[in-house]
Amino acid sequence: MLERVYALLRDVTYWDFIDVLLVSVFFYYILLLIKGTRALQILQGIGALLLLQGLAYIARLQTLSYILNGILVSTLVALPLVFQPELRRALTRLGQRGLISSNGISEIRQEELKRIIDEIALAAYNLSTTRFGALIVLEQETGLQEVVETGQIVDGFISAKLLQTIFRPKTPLHDGAVVIRDGRLLAGACYLPLTDSVVDSRFGTRHRAAIGITEQSDAIVVVVSEETGEIRIAKDGAFSQPMIEEAQVRKALARELMSEWNKEKHRRFTTFNLFRTIGDAIGGDD
């Protein structure tokens, strides 16, 4: 037995390690894409069905095995439809900026990101107290140029006063969303795609738009309700719990944005180490 293991190890080359490493990185990025989405829960369910089907096969439970096999085949056929938002988001990210390169929030210094979070939280709170609706879109890795082109370019320094001025009723840019990119308030009066999903009847067009853009991209959206003054954060096609205090909004935004900032930094570090390892392996193989 040990001789066979030694013989197998003797045949292993640097390229075999590179092969395993690349496959591991591929699945790592797949998990990043579906982390925190319903896709992960569905895959867990499929995994449970596969395990149950395997146990039924081992126990020779033919009827149960036949039924589970039919369910699994039907599920696999339906996966492209079930995962449509996730697939669209993944392909968009791959086509526009790539899985290992991004200009997103990682380009912003941590201190500046904290300042932006404070300004957005203050603006959301002030708009909430005056019952002025707002839709603030923070672009991440997926480019939102098509959305930007539906509005007016502002390219302004992000501040609570600017955001409050934009969303004041009857101002030229109040009807629509603002898009924040690379630490700048890039555009206002932007139109977002509405979701086709079933949304709670108490949510209006503004909230449907927030869900719509987060279903099609990895953007994070701050929504202020004009009717109730409630503040919510939309991400991956879902809303956070309603908030009314500035500190709540600041904490929620920091949790989301700092997490994305740290994740992107880690991703770049991992990618750098990956290519350095491949380079060392190729150099050593020569």
Tens digits of per-residue pLDDT, 65-96?
A: 888 888 888 877 877 776 666 666 666 655 55
Q: How confident is the model at residue 154 (pLDDT cuts 50, 70, 90)?
A: very high
Q: What angle do CA 174, 214, 110 make, to 5 degrees?
A: 80
The conformational region for residue 36 under phi > 0 = left, psi -120 to 50 = alpha, else beta, is left
pLDDT digits (tens, 9 = 90+) for 250-267: 999 999 887 655 555 545
Q: What is the pLDDT, as a whole number, of residue 188?
A: 95
- Mean of pLDDT over the chain: 80
The domain segmentation of the chain, as residue ranges, is 2-96, 105-265
Q: According to the model, what pLDDT value does residue 105 have? A: 52
**Which range is least confidently modeled, 97-106, 108-117, 173-182, 207-216?**
97-106
Q: Give the Cα separation of 127 and 196 in Å (integer).
A: 28
Could you please state the CATH topology (level 3) that the domain comprising 105-265 is classified under. YojJ-like (1 (3.40.1700)
In this prediction, residues 121-127 reach a mean pLDDT of 96
Average pLDDT over residues 24-48: 71
What confidence category does residue 115 fall into, taking pLDDT thresholds of 50, 70 and 90?
very high
Residue 97 sits at the vertex; the CA angle it makes with 259 and 138, to the nearest 5 degrees, is 45
Average confidence (pLDDT) over 167-178: 92
Secondary-structure breakdown of the chain: helix, strand, coil percentages, each rounded to the nearest 5: 60, 15, 30
